[in-house]
Amino acid sequence: MATIVRTLFSSKRRKTDAHAAASTSTSGPTSSSSSSSSSSSATSAPIPIFHVNSLPYSPSRSMRPPAGPRTRLERKTSRDTAASSSSAPDSLCTQIIHTLDAEDVRFVLVEYDKTMPVFDTKTVVPRSKWTPEEIAVRDPKKEFHFRKPRSDIKMIGNMAFGSVPTVSGSDSFKIHTLQDEEQMLMSKVFSVPKMKQARKDSESVASSDSETQSNYNTLRSLDGLWASKGRSTTATPESFSRVRHISYTIGDDDDERICGTTSLQRESFSPPYRLSHNRRRQMAHKTSLSENNAVPSGWKSRSRLSSCGSQNDEDGNRTLAFGVLFRFTERQFMFQHMPLIESELSRLESRITNAASNYPTFLTNVSKAWEELSETICQLHNAPRIRRPVWLSLNERASDEKSVASVFCNQLATLVHRYDTKNTKYFVSNLISTVLMHHMSWVASVASPPIRPDARANPDRNLFIGMTLNDDAPSLGYNAQLAQYLELSGSMGQLRTAKTVVCGDDDKLLSALCHMLSYFIRCSAIQHKDDERCWQLPTEQAFSPSASAATPDSAASPPSSVNVVFIPERVSDEDVLNSFISPSCSLDSLPSVTNHHVHLGDHPTPSITLMDRLELTCCETNEVSEELWSPTSSSVRPSDGLGRSLFVGPVPYYNPHFVVSALLKNLVNMNDTFTKMMDEVRCSDSASHRATFASMAPSSTSVCDVQMPDNVLILADTNDWTVKVMSSDGLDEVPSPSEAVVLMLEQFSELYKIGIAPHFLVTFLEDSLADILGKSLSLVEIVCREPPGEDGTLELSPERVRSIVGCDHSDLRLIVNVASVYWPPVLSSIFG
């Protein structure tokens, strides 16, 4: 490991040699001189703090790895550090109590009509996991030992394939509940080419697997990464030009047909304050059962590890199914992370398909693919989570926002004081600037709605934080969890993703940074409440639809035969009326009230029926079982957990699903990690891509020629205080922060020092962010205008733009990126 770290940082490392010190010793608690020196200098000159000033973390010398999934590497180190570290768990992060082990999940690969499993983690055992007895008797040249197949293979096959196989070519995903075994089975049927017996050379072991990855894994050193070619997403624009003609990529014929009724999707500008709303409307439309919303037919070819197609002749295919068996108690976790697990399973499928092309290495590669997948899932399950992601917690009405705000302000002030100095290359400003440039969901949260003269004050409206209840939600019908997930993973406006990894050695500092970022990286908040209205059902009536057009002969008539009216409980007639009458008619206009039916003249009766709770006693809508997995505090309903689950504290591995996480550098092989990161950045089949495709109009991504890169990974390193942005174009170091962010943090610190209440500090930050958005609106107006006068040129110098917009040169990039969220053509004004 030492050599790896050395080669990795040979060019960049500082003289202090903290890494070498940390890496030559395998034991954890080696101090990192770079971070401790800067933090000890900070503690020697404490800032005057008026409030609660127990600093949330102190320069820590212990690097206790969090209880996470036990990768081989960590097993070693955690044993070493176990004795020395007995400190209390970090207050900012929660640890998952019941961890998931790779052994807890069983993986089975079965072939249609065969009784022997192709693979089974319980019975096909790789050499590394042999028992001592097995080692004694088995042929050591053999990679695997096959134990006696389990009796349940037939049953698993039955469930996965069904009694009648589905039409070939159609993948079939299934989830069964095995109540007796208290297990769940997740299975998928797919077909692979017949295996070739031919190649037997030992060289090809693992080759079919590495072959598939080699398209991406060419990168073995970081040399190629430092300079990014072509357009950069972090560099300050050199010049602007007016955007006169936006070239649109019109979809193919099929697309045209799809868009025929919804031609507006292709257009680009949506007011920033509507971003969240519009995404939901679009989702409701796109996921609607009645719409033409097939996933693009080219979907499979988008897959990162798609099969190479030479052996795809029909009769040469074998039908396989894989099954993943997990404990019933893990279902909440699995279901909650469904988009992520689905994408992982799809990768697994591709890898098995690829592995099938080479028989000798098949089992090795399948075993390896499963090992990696189970590791990813265990990491997802076990990683320490940010206890209270700031933005989400601030929006939870019932919770202790006050303390959330106050902890956050303490954190931010401390971080700024210590790590936003010349010595640390203005690390905090730099990091926040970069996060604001790429995790774009904050834009919607600070975009004020336009002045509506008819708007009336809403007493419930939060005047400090940009969240509002979506009253439209029930009338739209969309999946709020998915909408939240998309916002969080950075798919705002355009299809793109953004993730941030903070790396370093000091886990306290790392969790503080992750916690702080959970304020800037935002998403909508979902709350589940028992709603009395659930039990008040609109009464039915007979209805004869017309066959062709919605002409008035579609007749609805009051029901004649319906006489079942449930006896209401606890709800008076008046309550019922108030809650069910549409705003357009008042109580006065109701001529008669009979029982629970309200008659409006000759109208179809807008009346309701109260559902008898006894009838559906076991179906209380809001039930939380204690055993269920929950990433943060127990007050959170588990189904809201996906969003929260993506804010992760320090971990000894890189997992591409986390939106924010911290990487303990001394516990990982950074070279491998970089390779993995690069793979992810280049991948266009991640969970969030799939979710976006499933929920957004395909044409909205091709709105203009110039686009932001699909995926962005922000890498912030607390060892050398650099912030880098990794994208498919390369790796860019962010040279300096945006002045607007620097000023914001300076003012924040000043206000913090004089003891301004945390609420006000938060509103100050909100106003500062809104200010950046306001400037981006000005920029858009400038670049989309025709030049005034006849001799006006299309070119605009950055100085000119800056002076009109009223910003610093260093803010231009941030402002452009913000504008691109709601008006993507702005990008062609700088790249054009």
Partner 1 sequence: MQAVIALCHFCENHGPRVVMTCQPMRDMDLPATSLSPSTSSAPDGPTIPVAQIQRNSELSQRFREGLPLFYGDCRRSVMDTEDRCKACTSFGNGPCLLSNDHPNKTSYISSEIAFHDRVYDRVKSACLRSLSCEVSAPQKNSQQKRRETVSINSQPILISPVNCDIIFERSPDEADGNMIFGDNDNGFCFSHTFRLQDAKARGRLRLFSLNVVSNDLTLLTSHFEFLRRALTTIKEQLQGMASLTYARETSTEIRPEHGSIVCRMAQFRREIAIDTGRNLETITGNDNIWTTLHRQMMWTLRSPILSCHDQVMEGVPTQDMLVMMELDAASIVELELHHPNQHEVSMQQLSNLKQIARKLCDENEIDLDLLIKQVVTGNQVIVESADPSLCRQFLLAVSNLLPIGCLKLSTYKEYYTQESIHRFTLIGGPPNMDIPLDLDDVLVLCIISNGMIYGDENVSLRGCRIQVKRRPALLEKCPQIVGRYKKLLLDSEVVDTVLETTLRSTREFWMGKAKLFYQMQKQISQAGRTELMRFIKGINNEDFDVVSFWQEGLSKAYKDHVLATIEYPDEHSVLG
| Residues 258-317 contacting partner 1, CB under 8 A | 261-265, 267-278, 280-282, 284-285, 287-295, 299
The backbone torsions φ and ψ at residue 256, rounded to the nearest 5 degrees and listed phi first, read -55, -45
Q: Is 614 in the site for partner 1 (CB under 8 A)?
A: no
For residue 512, give both structure tokens.
């503080």
For the bound state, the minimum distance from the C-beta of residue 585 to partner 1, rounded and expressed in Å, comes to: 6
| Interaction between residue 541 and partner 1 (CB under 8 A) | yes
Query: Which residue from 110, 222, 405, 683 is in contact with partner 1, where contact means CB under 8 A?
Result: 405
Kindly give the interhelix angle for 207-214 and 359-382, rounded to the nearest 10 degrees: 60
- Shortest gap between Cβ of 152 and partner 1 (angstroms)? 10
- Examine residue 176 and tell whether it contacts partner 1 (CB under 8 A): yes
- Residue among 89, 251, 604, 832 that touches partner 1 (CB under 8 A): 604
Phi, psi of 746 (to 5 degrees): -60, -50
Sequence-distant (6+) residues with CB within 8 A of 303 are 346, 347, 350, 685
The amino acid sitting at 613 is R
Binder to partner 1 among 182, 603, 634, 797 (CB under 8 A)?
603
Ranges of H-type helices in 291-426? 299-302, 331-336, 338-355, 359-382, 390-394, 401-419
Q: Tell whether residue 576 is a contact of partner 1 (CB under 8 A).
A: no
Helix axis angle, 812-822 relative to 798-805, nearest 10°? 70
Look at strands 117-120 and 124-126 and give their pairing: unpaired
How many alpha carbons lie under 13 Å from residue 523 in its C-beta half-sphere? 27
Interface residue with partner 1 among 76, 194, 302, 528 (CB under 8 A) is 528
Rg value, the chain, Cα = 29
Number of neighbours of residue 248 by Cβ within 10 angstroms: 15
The residue to which tokens 């008026």 are assigned? 50
Residue type, 275: L
Closer Cβ to partner 1, 693 or 721, answer by number: 693
Q: Which of residues 459-478 bind partner 1 (CB under 8 A)?
A: 461-470, 473-478
612, 567 contact by CB (below 8 A): yes
Residue 571 lies near partner 1 (rule: CB under 8 A): no
> Would you count residue 380 as binding partner 1 (CB under 8 A)?
no
Q: Is 41 in the site for partner 1 (CB under 8 A)?
A: no
How many residues form the binding site for partner 1 (CB under 8 A)? 201
Reported as type and span, the H/E element at residue 437 is helix 427-438
627 token code pair: 């055993």
Binding mask 801-820 for partner 1 (x = CB under 8 A): --xxxx--------------
CB of 598 to partner 1, least distance (A): 11
Return d(Cα 652, Cα 239) in angstroms, integer. 42
Nearer to partner 1, 116 or 542 (CB): 542
- Nearest approach in angstroms of CB 780 to partner 1 is 5
Pick from 658, 823, 828, 830 the residue near partner 1 by CB under 8 A: 823
Whole-Å CA distances, 606 to 67, 540, 541, 552, 610 = 57, 9, 10, 18, 13
Provide the minimum distance between the beta carbon of 392 and partner 1 in the complex, in angstroms, as a whole number: 10
Q: Which is nearer to partner 1, 535 or 647 (CB)?
A: 535
d(CA 13, CA 9): 5
Q: Which stretch binds partner 1 (CB under 8 A): 101-109, 542-550, 672-680, 705-713?
A: 542-550
- What residues contact residue 577 under an 8 Å CB cut-off, 6+ apart? 587, 590, 593, 598
Least distance in Å: CB of 491 to partner 1?
Answer: 14
State yes or no: residue 684 binds partner 1 (CB under 8 A): no
Q: Does 171 bind partner 1 (CB under 8 A)?
A: yes
Q: How far is CA 776 from CA 479, 495, 771, 807, 813, in A?
A: 30, 20, 9, 10, 10
| Among 763, 743, 748, CA closest to 814 | 743
Answer yes or no whether residue 768 interacts with partner 1 by CB under 8 A: yes
Specify the DSSP class assigned to residue 650.
E
Q: By CB under 8 A, which span of 124-132, 355-363, 426-434, 756-764 interacts with partner 1?
A: 756-764
Q: Which of 54, 128, 584, 793 binds partner 1 (CB under 8 A)?
A: 584
* Candidate list 455, 569, 575, 635; residue touching partner 1; CB under 8 A: 455
User: CB of residue 736 vs partner 1: minimum separation in angstroms?
Assistant: 19
Judged by CB under 8 A, which of 256, 540, 574, 627 binds partner 1? 540
SS3 385: strand
456 lines the binding site for partner 1 (CB under 8 A)? yes
CB of 777: closest distance to partner 1 in angstroms?
4
Largest separation between any pair of C-alpha atoms in the chain: 91
Non-local CB neighbours of 487 within 8 Å, separated by 6+ positions: 276, 279, 441, 444, 522, 523, 524
Task: Tell me which of 64, 304, 385, 775 binds partner 1, using CB under 8 A.
Answer: 775
Q: What is the dihedral of CA 207, 682, 486, 651, to 10 degrees?
A: 70
Select 548 or 572, whichever has its Cβ closest to partner 1: 548
**According to the binding rule CB under 8 A, does residue 639 interact with partner 1?**
yes
What is the spatial order of strands in the sheet that 497-504 belongs to?
Answer: 93-94, 385-386, 647-651, 660-664, 497-504, 711-717, 722-727, 730-733
Point out which span in 120-128, 192-200, 412-420, 527-535 binds partner 1 (CB under 8 A).
527-535
**525 lies in the site for partner 1, by CB under 8 A:** yes
- The secondary structure of 438-457 as a DSSP string is H-TTHHHHT-PPPP-TT---
Q: Return the residue of 336, 645, 707, 810 that touches partner 1, per CB under 8 A.
A: 336
| CB 791 to partner 1: min, Å | 12
Interface with partner 1, residue 634, by CB under 8 A: no
Q: Does 595 bind partner 1 (CB under 8 A)?
A: no
Tokens of 821: 């969220």
Binding-site member from 254, 256, 530, 574 for partner 1 (CB under 8 A):
530
User: b/e per residue, 714-727, with b = 16+ CB within 10 A?
Assistant: bbbbbbbbbbbbbb
Judged by beta carbon, residue 136 or residue 547, the one nearer partner 1 is 547
Q: Report the residue from 7, 91, 554, 797 that binds partner 1 according to the rule CB under 8 A.
A: 554
Residues 6+ apart with CB under 8 A from 759: 402, 405, 464
* 21 belongs to the binding site for partner 1 (CB under 8 A): no
Q: Per CB under 8 A, does 743 bind partner 1?
A: yes
Residue with smaller CB distance to partner 1, 316 or 538: 538
The one-character DSSP state at 639 is G
Which segment (19-27, 96-104, 528-536, 673-681) binds partner 1 by CB under 8 A?
Answer: 528-536
Nearer to partner 1, 135 or 469 (CB): 469
**Which listed range, 21-29, 169-177, 367-375, 510-518, lies at the site for partner 1 (CB under 8 A)?**
169-177
